[in-house]
Amino acid sequence: MPYPVIGVSPRQLPEWAALVGHAKELAKTDLRHLFAEDPGRLAWSTFEVGPLHIDLSKHLIRQETLVLLENLARARFLPDAITAMLTGEHINVSEDRAVLHTALRNGANLAGPVDGIDVGVEVEKVLTRMEQFARAVRANQRVGCTGKPFTAIVNIGIGGSDLGPAMVTKALYDFSDKSRAVYFVSNIDPIAIDEVFNRCDPETTLFVVVSKTFGTLETLTNAKAARQWLLKALGEHEDAVEKHFVAVSTNADLVSSFGIDTENMFGFWDFIGGRYSVDSAVGLAIMLAIGPERFRSFLRGFASIDQHLRETPLSHNVPVLLGLLAVWYRNFFGAQSQAILPYSQRLARFPAYLQQLTMESNGKSVRIDGATVDYDTGAVYWGEPGTDGQHAFYQLLHQGTVLIPADFILFAEPLGGPDAQQDLLFANGLAQTRALAFGRDDAELEELGVPAQLRPARRMPGNRPTTTILAQRLTPEVLGALIALYEHSVFTQGVIWGIDSFDQWGVELGKELASELVPILTSAGAPVLDPFDTSTADLVSRYRHMRGRPT
């Protein structure tokens, strides 16, 4: 048992009951009144953490709310859980593993080896090897089998082995080496990798195959296609695969049998989950793009939030507060989703990245002790960059019938382009938080001269909660801090709900069934379909017919 909360439903606690009553009380008021009644509201609801300014003032809370949420966190032994995670206890109960992504950026608090591994030493060894390799590629010292430098890096992975590196590389494009294109392939839709082949020259392309087990179906399928493409062009060179492929994996045997020299294999460990691995060797493509020094800055951003989590009391611990607010809306206001709205085109993939981080972590209906939960857990995370989203789905945020808390991520400085447009971009984001919070009532509409019959349609109820995250500009350090902020918020939610945020068994069943179906779909003779349900059997037959195979 990693900490004493296991085996207890939070709904049984008096701290939960206190929040139920408090939520009913707050439902009778609105944000206009909450601001009016407390002129000092900003003093307890805004925070500086690392390179980020966090404004929680536009939430449906009083200062008392945070106290009640902190009481719940203590009743769920959150401080013990934080210590357990940072010191390498096996808080991933179903897989009997430690959870030490914080060790990747010196954010853990380890007194000694974990599971026989001197974690800090091993992490630094891998980082040093990554840096040596990245410097050699970027200096054109590491070249392809024909002696030409690499002009394209292709990352082949899926899930955490794709979403993280792809999101970060796009976000930090302005800090990258523009002489090399970086592509990401995850989907086994054949067009995905074909599009990359059409953009690349085999002589100058480096493939980074990312798979912890080196057995992931989608990743190995695409890697084999890449190997075939490469050998078709460069097969006369015996070292073609060795020179043009590297691996991020822990399975040396399968890496070697693929044809990759294990000297070009960069490892990570079982205590690093895929969706928490972007700052490990999984981020090799990032380092190749932005360079080792900026990658270290990226890690420092994570570390600033880790230190804050470790050292700051719960009442001022920002990732903890964000996690508690997520619980507040999910369990006491019935919110089913959370919008992530970055006002930066470079962060276009950030909502998708958070989808995996949050929904794969907390999309659970069973507690750590195996009991079925009797309360709601993980919300649906979604979003798009501003201002595009304003002309798409913000209508529902403002006047829809469901409550959707939203996080606005804003920056003071642009990364490029006309400087004046940054003012317009920021004005739009800030205006949306005001409109969502305070709305527009009939008195204001009348003052604006809106006819009475049109006022119901133009009335904005407000009272829609938002978090505002503000930074100077989107840098590697700022991005690392942003990611860590959400990592620890997700962890906080999982502790309150008593679930294992670090396993993902729900992903496995579909993989197993797909493996069973492939030979049925591709067999030369008509397959036996008796074991399948009628729908599956019919769809298999139709697919085979469409592919010209006997049924």
Please write the tens of the pLDDT for every residue from 243-255: 999 999 999 999 9
Quick one: which of 247, 332, 280, 256 has its CA closest to 27?
A: 332
Asked if residue 361 lies in contact with residue 501, where contact means CB atoms within 8 angstroms, the answer is: yes
At 2 the pLDDT is: 56
Please write the tens of the pLDDT for every residue from 5-41: 667 899 999 999 999 999 999 999 999 999 999 999 9
| d(C-alpha 326, C-alpha 489), whole Å | 8
At 79 the pLDDT is: 97
| d(C-alpha 423, C-alpha 431), whole Å | 12
| d(C-alpha 171, C-alpha 202), whole Å | 27
Residue 180 has pLDDT above 80, yes or no: yes
| d(C-alpha 397, C-alpha 379), whole Å | 16
Rg of the Cα trace of the chain? 25
At 26 the pLDDT is: 96
Residue 298 has pLDDT above 70, yes or no: yes
33 is catalytic: no
- What is the pLDDT averaged over residues 518-534? 93
Asked if residue 316 lies in contact with residue 186, where contact means CB atoms within 8 angstroms, the answer is: no
DSSP symbols for 387-400: TGGGGTTHHHHHHS
At 247 the pLDDT is: 97
Q: How far is CA 456 from CA 28, 122, 404, in A?
A: 21, 63, 21
Local structure of 338: helix, strand or coil: strand
pLDDT band at 182 (very low <50, low <70, confident <90, very high): very high
Based on the number of CB atoms within 10 Å of its own CB, is 135 exposed (0-12), middle (13-18) or buried (19 or more)?
A: middle
237 is catalytic: no
Residue 1 has pLDDT above 90, yes or no: no
Cross-strand partners of 117: 114
Backbone φ and ψ for 13, nearest 5 degrees, come out as -90, 145
Beta-carbon-side half-sphere exposure of residue 63 (alpha carbons within 13 Å):
12
At 509 the pLDDT is: 87
Give me the catalytic one of 24, 125, 148, 511. 511
Q: How far is CA 267 from CA 247, 262, 501, 548, in A?
A: 8, 10, 23, 43
Give the residue carrying structure tokens 């529902």: 396
User: Could you give the percent of the chain with pLDDT greater than 90?
Assistant: 95
Please write the tens of the pLDDT for every residue from 358-408: 999 999 999 999 999 999 999 999 999 999 999 999 999 999 999 999 999
Residue 44 has pLDDT above 80, yes or no: yes
**Token digits for 349?**
């993939």
pLDDT band at 4 (very low <50, low <70, confident <90, very high): low
| d(C-alpha 333, C-alpha 185), whole Å | 39
Give me the catalytic one of 360, 384, 477, 487. 360
What is the widest separation between alpha-carbon atoms in the chain? Answer: 80
At 6 the pLDDT is: 64
At 371 the pLDDT is: 94
Beta strands in 400-538 (DSSP E): 406-411, 466-471
Residue 43 has pLDDT above 80, yes or no: yes
Quick one: which of 83, 85, 78 has its CA closest to 100?
A: 85
| d(C-alpha 170, C-alpha 506), whole Å | 29
Average pLDDT, the chain: 96
Residue 472 has pLDDT above 90, yes or no: yes
* Residue 356 per-residue DSSP state: I
511 is catalytic: yes
At 3 the pLDDT is: 63
Residue 229 has pLDDT above 60, yes or no: yes
The CB density around residue 71, as the number of other CB atoms within 10 Å, is 17
- What is the pLDDT averaged over residues 264-289? 96
